[in-house]
Every structure is written in C-alpha cells, then in structure tokens.
Amino acid sequence: MTEFLQDGDFALQATFMWAMAWRPAAREVRRMPERLLHQWRRQIALRRLAHGPTPRVVLMVCHGNICRSPYAVARLRALAPELGDTVRVVSGGFVGPGRQCPEEALEVAANRGVDLSNHRSQLIKPADVLAADLIVVMDRVQQWAIRAMYGRDVLMLGDLDPEAIETREILDPVEQPKEAFERCYSRIDRCLSALVRAVSGGAFRALRSAAAPSHRARVQT
C-alpha cells in the first residue's frame, strides 16, 4: 500500500505505519478474553462430554475438509477403541468437494502415523448433521454456520486444549509451510486426547452407576 502514498503525504504515511505497527497489539487485545476464559470453557466442555451419553456418531467439520477435519477423523478413529467399536466418525466441509489433501498435510500426517492419501473432501451432508451425537468444529464461523443452518449445538475443539492458548480456533494451515501443519496437528492431537479421556471416563461412570442400584437392592434385601 505504501507505493500509492506520495512523498509529500507524510501525515498519511505516518498514520499508515502507526496502524500497521499496532495491528499485532490490537490482535492480542482481541484475543485476551479467549485466553482468560479458556480454563473455564475447557472445564465446561469436559464436564458436558463426561456426563453426556457416549456419542455413536461424531461429525468433524472444517472449512474445506482437506486439512484439519480429515486429520481429526483419522486420529479419532485411532483412539476410538477406547470409546467402543460402535463409534462412527465422519467429516465434511463447506466448499470444494472431491479434493485431495495438500502435500504438506500428507507428509506431516504420515510422520504421525496417519495416512490421508485416500481422503477426498466432502461437503457436509444434512443427514450426517442430523445423525451426529457430537459435532466438532474448528472455528467460530463453522460454529455459527452449523447453528444457523441446522440448529445444532457444537463443540469447539480448541476449547479442550490442555495448554495455554492464543486463540480458541484451530487455525487453518492451508497454503502455509509444514510448520503450520505441525502446530495445527499437534493441537488437534492434544484436544482429541482430552476428548477421548472425558468421554471414556463418562462411559465408565455410567456403567458403574447403572450397576450400583442392583447392588444396593441386594444389600437392602
């Protein structure tokens, strides 16, 4: 933009440079509430997972279904034996069906033991949304879209991160270097591990509480 400013426009140049210098600070200020509220949001999300029914259908959502949600599906499927063999995990996006994952996604995922080579992007299917017991999104735009189009509540995956956060959203690494995919997939790994522990613990408590009344009945008789 500076090439459009003439040398004599000193005030305008100064204003532009000042605005550019303050953009990172403004972004930090906007994200401050997210950082401060993270532990509170995390505890609420974990409690809902632990005390709710064990999901039988999980829908993972991201924008294009080529970077974040495919990896999340593959990783959750690897962890799914802890939840039981009946859990079905599917994914979808909002744009561009039939696309492959980027090379960076394939390489970083492969280094983590996840094969995305056969994945092709899919649009979100209304039937999957309606059938899902748990809908997981990566950012607030997806959260708003699912609520607006289908009236369904969703889980923001980043809320489960056990580490301190910069933002609730799991940022899209598309068209970025491998380092962005590494950061993205590491965060997805952390969040999914927390999800599985919460749901598995809830299922265990449900089984234990279901057995408890019959035990008390035998004691009372």
* CA distance linking residue 135 with residue 128, whole number of Å: 9
Do the beta carbons of residue 103 and residue 72 sit within 8 Å? no
Residue 26, judged by CB atoms within 10 A of its CB (0-12, 13-18, 19+), counts as exposed
SS3 207: helix
Catalytic residue among 48, 88, 99, 172: 172
Q: How far is CA 44 from CA 41, 101, 165, 186, in A?
A: 5, 33, 16, 22
Contact partners, residue 26, CB within 8 Å, separation at least 6? none
Q: Tell me, yes or no, if 184 is annotated catalytic.
A: no
Contact partners, residue 143, CB within 8 Å, separation at least 6? 137, 154, 156
Catalytic residue among 42, 67, 68, 161: 68
DSSP state of 19: H
Q: Tell me, yes or no, if 139 is annotated catalytic.
A: no
Catalytic residue among 62, 67, 101, 184: 62
DSSP state of 135: E
Structure token pair of residue 155: 């889980």
Q: Residue 202 carries which side chain, given as an amino acid letter?
A: G
Question: What backbone torsions phi and psi does residue 91 show, to the nearest 5 degrees?
Answer: -145, 165
Please give the positions annotated as active site: 62, 68, 172
